Structure 1
Amino acid sequence: MSDGRQLECFERKHASLEKNITREQKRPGSDDLEIKDMKKRKLVIKEDILLLEHRGATA
C-alpha cells in the first residue's frame, strides 16, 4: 500500500474513533475503560499519521 493510501486509511480510522469516543462519552452509563482504550488506539493512529507525514516530507 502506498504511503498516500495508508495515510488516508489512518485518517479515516482516526476520525471514526473520534466520533465513537464523543458518542460514548455522551451516552449515559458510558464505559470509561472502553473510552480509555479508544483514546489509546486513536493516539497510536495519530503517531502513525505523523510518521507517514514526516516520511513524506523528507522524501
Structure 2
Amino acid sequence: LGTTQDYVRAYLWVSLAAVHMKGDEQKQAEENRNDVAGRMTPEQIAEAKRLTQQCMALKFKGC
C-alpha cells in the first residue's frame, strides 16, 4: 500500500514552496529540495526544473 515515490514532483512542489517563503522557512524548503535532489539523477533534476518553470509560467494551472 501507499503511493509511488515521485522525486520529480517532490522537487517541483518543494521548489515552488521555497519561492513563496522567506527567512528560515525558505532556508528549510531549500534544504528539503536539496535532500530530494540528492536522490535524483541529473536528468530528473533537469526535468523537475523545467516543470517548475512551466508551472510558474502557467500560474500553477495543470501542475
- TM-score w.r.t. structure 1 length? 0.43
- TM-score w.r.t. structure 2 length? 0.41
Greater helix share, 1 or 2? 1
If you compute each CA radius of gyration, which structure gives the higher value, 1 or 2?
1
